[in-house]
Amino acid sequence: ARELGNLPGNICTPTYLAEQAIKLGQDLDNLVVDVLEESDIAELGMGSFLSVSRGSREPAKLITLNYGGGGDSKPIVLVGKGLTFDAGGISLKPSQGMDEMKYD
């Protein structure tokens, strides 16, 4: 995650993240990776999710990683988001430091 977070948004795109997740899933037996494309996301009625990527020429992806290695123990659920460029409040932020707005 640290290496991905250090990449600029023009390299670490949603497509690139999906490719990396798929590779990870191929390497680990207990990890199932599912990547939803924009059409899948729209079909699920996730308009707010899609609105975040509307300003990008890169299509949105919804990537889920399901690790099935817990056996009989209680499941642990982690939920996170991965924005490859954080432009939130861009009109309020000074230009200084914008080059570091890589992820959120």
User: Could you tell me which residues are beta bridge partners of residue 64?
Assistant: 34
Predicted pLDDT at 22: 95
Predicted pLDDT at 77: 77
What gap in Å lies between CA 90 and CA 94, rounded to an integer?
8
Predicted pLDDT at 100: 61
Predicted pLDDT at 67: 85
What gap in Å lies between CA 60 and CA 31, rounded to an integer?
22
What gap in Å lies between CA 11 and CA 60, rounded to an integer?
15
Predicted pLDDT at 93: 64
Predicted pLDDT at 16: 93
List per-block mean pLDDT (blocks of 10 residues) for the chain, which spans 104 residues.
79 92 90 94 94 86 86 76 63 64 56
- Beta strands 31-36 and 62-67 are antiparallel
Encoded tokens for 10:
């023009």
Count of domains for the chain: 1
